[in-house]
Amino acid sequence: MRSPKDFFGPLAVGAPAPVREVPARPSRMIHFFDPSNEKMAAKVPGMVGTVDVLLGNLEDAVKADRKEAARQGLVDIAKATDFGDSTQLWTRVNSLDSPWVLDDLITLVTEIGDKLDVIMVPKVQGPEDIHYVDRILAQLEARAGLTRPILVHAILETARGMANVEAIAGASPRMQGISLGPADLAADRRMKTTRVGGGHPGYLVRQDPATDLGEGVDPVTAERTTYQQDLWHYTIARMVDACAMHGIFPYYGPFGDIKDVVACEDQFRNAFLLGCVGTWSLHPVQVDIAKRVFSPSAEDVAHARRVKEAMGDGTGAVMLDGKMEDDASLKQCLVILELAERLSANDPELADLYAVDAPAAEGEGS
């Protein structure tokens, strides 16, 4: 058993020291692109600064005969592109049981490791998968002479991974976050849905039978209101708890119905309210949705600032607009304010929105 004292020690001679705190950089949307698709790759430089994360995808959406082209395409794009301070470069490598993943890791770390922020690992089953990647990355970082560690992001796509989510979240200092992979997880659980994320009209609750419908009317067969439920509520909530416990970040994954922008926004907002910091975007139309949903509203920021100002030293309780606010309320408000400050630091539009509609209290830092 590894001693807790060694948890933050490098796993290879010459490898950079692991981070003790995951950088809290904006990652509201993780925008996927296929590096083997020349048309798609040509758009990457123009998206720098408009999305928080650009992710070169090497896995599921890339056909087997295009794997090497996708890998080399990502290398070429990374070398030719300046991602600046406001856009991160991530990649999703092939699964650990595939014949391509070792070449993915060796090539990417040694050739563009200085550009890569995060490596997303699909179908993580348990902490042993993270330990495997952790050691290899340390060895490759040492070989490449990197001065900062590349972080790791796990995708929750199997029932075993779900059962081990807490252990996965705490498996390595490299862990940056976890995303929900609803399609693969649904298949592994034998769920009866063919949708990629989102709800299902058959997953519902029904209003109780009425008792005053009159003589001759069967209350059981009479029309009753139904309410569609969220298939992913439990899974997301447990993932959020695991991430919060270990100081890493939870994300919703893909929403496959590109045309249904309303349901997409609903699903993103559910995840945001439960604690997710971002989501995947599979099409440019989803970028703006994610940016809007995963940024706190000006009204919420204004209210949070009022509570912070009213609470003074943070102890006791106050009445504000007829509602009690206490230390627990303040903690909730500080979550909103910290997020607003972090996002507006690199987003002039948000900075203006929060400054105009939610003026800072006297003495509060900008």
Alpha-carbon distance values, 244 to 121, 275, 298, 333 (Å): 20, 9, 25, 17
Residue type, 220: V
β partners of residue 118: 90, 151
C-beta of residue 347 within 8 angstroms of C-beta of residue 29: no
DSSP labels, 77-127: HHHH---TTT-EEEEEPPPTTSSSHHHHHHHHHHHHTTT--EEEESS--SH
92 annotated binding-site participant: yes
CA 115 to CA 131: how far, in whole Å?
23
CB atoms within 10 A of CB 246: 19
Residue 209 DSSP symbol: P
Tokens of 145: 């002479």
What is the Cβ-side half-sphere exposure of residue 229, based on CA atoms within 13 angstroms? 9
34 annotated binding-site participant: no
CA 279 to CA 293: how far, in whole Å?
10
Q: Which residues are annotated as a binding site for substrate?
A: 92, 157
Q: Which residues are annotated as a binding site for Mg(2+)?
A: 157, 184
Q: Which residues are annotated as a binding site?
A: 92, 157, 184
